[in-house]
Amino acid sequence: MNIYSLGALLKEEEKIQLKNKYQVIHWGVSSNDIQTQLKINWIELEIHPKMIEDFDMQVLELLLSQNSKQDIKVFMIRFQSIDILKHEHMIKYMDQIAKKLHKYKIKLWIYPKEYQSYKLFVPLFQKMKSQHISLVFNPSYVYLNRASVISSYKAFKKYIGCVVAEDVISKGYPELIGYGKASLIELFKYLIKSNYQGDLMLDLKFDTYLEKLKKNQQGFFKILHKKDIDAYQLLKKRLKIDEKKDVQLIDIFDNQYEVLSIVFNLR
């Protein structure tokens, strides 16, 4: 089992520091932000309707060429719109992508966006000829769409190859694993019990929320932001950060990798 992360807002030296501490980390990049000196193992690619309409493989081929010296293990596809799934050439196009990636022994993942229902992707998996394709399952998306995380996982289990370790609270704000509403602890217990053989993804979205909490700690009107002040202090406590220091993104990443390493015995 490996942990895949983009960590787009982390500095490269911070990524190296984390990789040295947690060998299971596989750093990746978005196809829109491919410039990096870091060793990467996966690429996120968004598919647009025009690409399917023209049966365009140029972007994929360019990414493979540019990263020929990298040890790319996964291409993760995201669809710009859900209507793409209805395109008449969709199945053939995705089969060609899977076939090309399999030639390089690269896995293909499909990661629905928050507003894209998982059940809409089932016909795609059922009709594709390739067996080298998996679904990325995000429990926080399921929770935010008012569905049962465990029931949804069981329903799509046969297609899932990666589970996103992301927790949220009721307003959609990010939360540390196990402290939110997305049933992560219950899901992790089920994964262990059922001998889950897939991978994990750490897809943290704390940057904007963290800046909001920090901003509301200061100023004349901070008394109006008591909830944010309390939330920030609680975050510090859970991360075991000194009261006089600010929480940094790397602190959260470090903590969450540690949690996953302990839960899934990845040391």
CATH assignment of the domain containing 76: 3.20.20.150
Residue 226 lies in a domain: no
Identify whether 251 is part of a domain.
no
User: Is 53 within a domain?
Assistant: yes
Q: Where are the alpha helices (DSSP H) in the chain?
A: 12-21, 49-53, 58-66, 90-103, 122-127, 139-144, 149-156, 184-193, 207-215, 226-239, 249-263
Spatial CA neighbour of 126 closest among 164, 154, 74, 85: 85
User: 199 forms bridges with which residues in the sheet?
Assistant: 162
* pLDDT at residue 35 in the model: 62
Domain range for 190: 3-204
- 85 in any annotated domain: yes
Q: Give the model's pLDDT for residue 211.
A: 80
Half-sphere exposure of 105 (CA within 13 A, CB side): 4
Report if residue 30 sits inside a domain.
yes
- Which portions of the chain are predicted below pLDDT 50? none
* Residue 141 domain flag: yes
d(C-alpha 173, C-alpha 177), whole Å: 13
Helix (H) or strand (E) holding 254: helix 249-263
Residues 138-156 have pLDDT tens digits of: 999 999 988 999 999 999 9
At 225 the pLDDT is 65
User: How far is 212 from 174, CA to CA, in rounded Å?
Assistant: 12
Report the alpha-carbon distance of residue 70 to residue 85 in Å, rounded.
31
Structure token pair of residue 110:
């499909």
Residue 111 is predicted with a pLDDT of: 95
How many structural domains are present in the chain?
1
Task: Report residue 74: phi and psi, to 5°.
Answer: -145, 140
In the chain, the amino acid numbered 63 is: L
Instruction: Let me know if residue 59 belongs to a domain.
Output: yes
pLDDT at 219: 61
